[in-house]
Amino acid sequence: MKPSEIRLELLQQHDQIRVIMEVTKTIAESISAGRPRRGDLSGCVLRLADAVRAHNCREEALLLDFIPSVDAWGGAREAIMRKEHIQEHARLDVALRGIPLASPDLAAVGVVALMRLMREHMDREEAAFLGEDVLRDDVVVANQTDG
């Protein structure tokens, strides 16, 4: 896969995750505001967690061997990805465990805060290792076998 193809696939997944996050946040805000029509908050968080886990696996599979050699900051970029993923998994696990146990109001507040943290996480990833300046097709990478 070319770096530009990797970038496109991972950014498309970020966009899909952002859509699920928007739906989840809208439901959480409806609950917080006491509106009568509510959605399935737990179902949305589960769907979001599945999408994020699949994306993180794909991100690591496509980038962990590649990112360290991409430029002089490759090692730092890899460290950011590893750290971000550990934090993100922990946050989602806390949310998933907490939502069924918490009152709807408390769960909704937690979800809104989680969505903000996840948005910031994806922004940091896009700056650290998913930018056009990092995943360039003219980068020469050792051990790249698919041309």
Interaction with Fe ion in 40-79: which residues (CB under 5 A)?
Answer: 56, 59
- Residue ranges of the alpha helices (H) in the chain? 3-32, 41-63, 74-101, 104-128
Q: Work out the number of other CB atoms within 10 angstroms of the CB of residue 3.
A: 20
What's the min distance (Å) between Cβ of 43 and Fe ion? 22
d(CA 31, CA 40): 10
Closest CA to 126 of 79, 71, 81, 91: 81
Smaller CB separation from Fe ion, 78 or 125: 125
**Is 111:25 a contact under the CB 8 Å cutoff?**
yes
What's the min distance (Å) between Cβ of 28 and Fe ion? 22
Among 44, 114, 125, 129, binds Fe ion (CB under 5 A): 125
Stretch that binds Fe ion, among 33-41, 102-110, 125-133, 137-145 (CB under 5 A): 125-133
Smaller CB separation from Fe ion, 31 or 62: 62
Smaller CB separation from Fe ion, 64 or 113: 64
Smaller CB separation from Fe ion, 40 or 120: 120
Please list, in sequence order, all residues whose beta carbon lies within 8 angstroms of the beta carbon of residue 44, skipping any fewer than 6 positions away.
20, 23, 24, 27
Output the six-digit token pair for 90: 């922990």
What's the min distance (Å) between Cβ of 117 and Fe ion? 13
Site residues for Fe ion per CB under 5 A: 56, 59, 125
